[in-house]
């Protein structure tokens, strides 16, 4: 029977709608760091990864506009053609110093880094071993590599060791984990994972997307916080979160990075990062390295907010960071609460399956150092009220 494709996809859309899983974009008209305007009304944004408020900062605006004046918008070619500018190399140097690794390579996004780097490291006949809650870009990279994929339960090093024992027959194995998990806000047991990788001779790659700029004495991430700089084979991250700009990177040994330059398809076959972005990334790193005190007061804020939510009786999973998952459970209830939050002027989106497991729909509240104190108090007040009305 011939089914026109239009009908086929319309049915899929109706199905999503009927399960309350249809996603609508909230269109932001203007923004001033954590304040956003949607449909003529102002909201406090608690759904942004702009953790340090750098995205809207004068420092980055200035760096970007200077580079814009000097180079224009697009970079015009891929890195191995005429698309490598001195600013790209400067940024790669800044990242390798920041991360205390020998060298670094940048990509046009974190997603591009993960889907390019994993297939360059492993392929058919190899094994890639991932945490069940790793970011989608890691899973996609693993699939694209055509290596056999093994998934271990979230942060479970006993299960990881079992997988490593079972996969001894593979000549090459790659373990990949987020360091700070993007939906749960919890932290991978990196020292134990590294020890297992060394014991079973497996390559280790970590994704520092949400940890960079937040953790570590110099703000470079959880690898630094755990004292593991220089010990992990592949340290990946993005500049689109705390750094407030755009672009992905990998830092590591000279050899690994040179190998990636030769092999990663998402490095070779795409136009290089626009210079205004690259220039602002350099400034963002400089800012983070020089503003340790701001990070300290940010951490006090994170701990305060978390303890207030716990006092109210919310389940925050095992969150240890600026990402605070407030678990609601069923999708329908989460959607009702989402409407209430918006009525109250809080921009916080319900995170639903398939992004999170079934029946763990939640609000992924993210705290920024550029929220005003009154924004934080408003958030806590509204969630106190939610506890009374919806539970």
Active site residues: 182, 210, 241
Chain residue whose CB lies nearest ligand PLP: 110
Closest CB 178 distance from ligand PLP, rounded Å: 5
Q: Which stretch binds ligand PLP (CB under 6 A): 5-13, 109-117, 149-157, 321-329?
A: 109-117
Length of the chain counted residue by residue: 391
Site for ligand PLP, residues 135 to 154, rule: CB under 6 A: 135, 137
Q: Which of 61, 77, 70 is nearest to 273 (CA)?
A: 77
Part of the chain binding ligand PLP (CB under 6 A), chosen from 73-81, 119-127, 203-211, 321-329? 203-211
Q: Which of 110, 216, 276, 325 binds ligand PLP (CB under 6 A)?
A: 110
CA–CA distance, 216 with 131 (Å, rounded to integer): 23
Cβ-based nearer residue to ligand PLP, 96 or 108: 108
Q: Where are the beta strands (DSSP E) in the chain?
A: 30-32, 35-38, 41-45, 103-107, 127-131, 148-152, 173-178, 203-207, 234-238, 248-252, 323-329, 346-347, 350-351, 361-366
240 binds ligand PLP (CB under 6 A): yes
List the helix and strand counts (H, then E) for the chain: 14, 14
Binding residues with ligand PLP: total (CB under 6 A):
14
- Which of these segments, 91-99, 155-163, 206-214, 288-296, binds ligand PLP (CB under 6 A)? 206-214
SS3 60: helix
Does position 337 interact with ligand PLP (CB under 6 A)? The reply is no
Interface with ligand PLP, residue 210, by CB under 6 A: yes
3-state secondary structure of 277: helix
Closer to ligand PLP by Cβ: residue 121 or 386 = 121
1 is written with which tokens? 């029977």
Distances (CA, A) of 6 to 3, 248, 255, 256: 8, 36, 50, 46
Least Cβ distance, residue 388 to ligand PLP (angstroms): 33
Minimal distance, residue 210 CB to ligand PLP, in Å: 5
CA-to-CA distance for 222 and 244, rounded, in angstroms?
A: 18
Q: Is 108 in the site for ligand PLP (CB under 6 A)?
A: no
For ligand PLP, which is the closer residue by CB, 245 or 376? 245
Interaction residues for ligand PLP, span 44-73 (CB under 6 A): none
CB 289 to ligand PLP: min, Å:
20
Query: Mapping DSSP to helix (H, G, I), strand (E, B) and coil, where does residue 325 land?
Result: strand
Cα–Cα distance measured from residue 296 to residue 79, given in angstroms and rounded to the nearest whole number: 38
Task: Give me the residues that bind ligand PLP (CB under 6 A), please.
Answer: 109-111, 114, 135, 137, 178, 182, 207, 209-210, 238, 240, 248
């Amino acid at each position: 029977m011939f089914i026109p494709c239009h009908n086929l996809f319309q049915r899929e859309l109706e199905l999503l709608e009927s399960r309350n899983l249809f996603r609508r974009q909230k269109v932001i008209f203007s923004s001033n760091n954590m304040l956003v305007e949607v449909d003529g009304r102002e909201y406090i944004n608690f759904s942004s990864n702009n953790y340090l408020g750098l995205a809207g900062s004068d420092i980055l605006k200035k760096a970007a506009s200077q580079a814009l004046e000097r180079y224009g918008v697009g970079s015009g070619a891929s890195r191995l053609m005429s698309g490598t500018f001195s600013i790209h190399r400067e940024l790669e140097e800044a990242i390798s110093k920041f991360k205390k690794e020998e060298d670094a390579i940048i990509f046009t996004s974190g997603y591009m880094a993960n889907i390019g780097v994993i297939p360059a490291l492993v392929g058919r006949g190899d094994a890639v071993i991932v945490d069940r809650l790793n970011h989608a870009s890691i899973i996609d990279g693993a699939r694209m590599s055509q290596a056999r994929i093994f998934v271990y339960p979230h942060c479970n090093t006993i299960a990881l060791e079992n997988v490593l024992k079972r996969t001894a027959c593979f000549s090459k194995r790659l373990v990949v984990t987020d360091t700070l998990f993007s939906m749960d806000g919890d932290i991978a047991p990196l020292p134990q994972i590294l020890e297992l990788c060394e014991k079973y001779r497996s390559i280790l790659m970590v994704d520092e997307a949400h940890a960079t700029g937040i953790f570590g004495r110099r703000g470079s991430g959880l690898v630094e916080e755990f004292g593991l700089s220089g010990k992990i084979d592949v340290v990946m991250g993005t500049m689109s979160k705390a750094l407030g700009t755009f672009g992905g990177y990998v830092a590591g040994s000279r050899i690994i990075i040179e190998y990636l330059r030769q092999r990663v398809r998402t490095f070779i076959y795409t136009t290089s990062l626009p210079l205004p972005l690259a220039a602002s990334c350099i400034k963002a790193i400089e800012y983070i390295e020089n503003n340790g005190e701001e990070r300290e007061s940010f951490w006090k804020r994170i701990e305060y907010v978390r303890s207030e939510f716990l006092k109210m009786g919310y389940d925050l999973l095992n969150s240890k960071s600026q990402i605070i998952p407030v678990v609601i459970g069923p999708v329908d209830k989460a959607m009702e609460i989402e409407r209430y939050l918006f009525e109250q002027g809080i921009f916080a989106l319900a995170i639903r399956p398939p992004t999170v497991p079934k029946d763990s729909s939640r609000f992924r509240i993210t705290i920024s150092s550029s929220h005003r104190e009154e924004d934080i108090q408003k958030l806590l007040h509204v969630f106190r009220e939610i506890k009374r009305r919806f539970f």
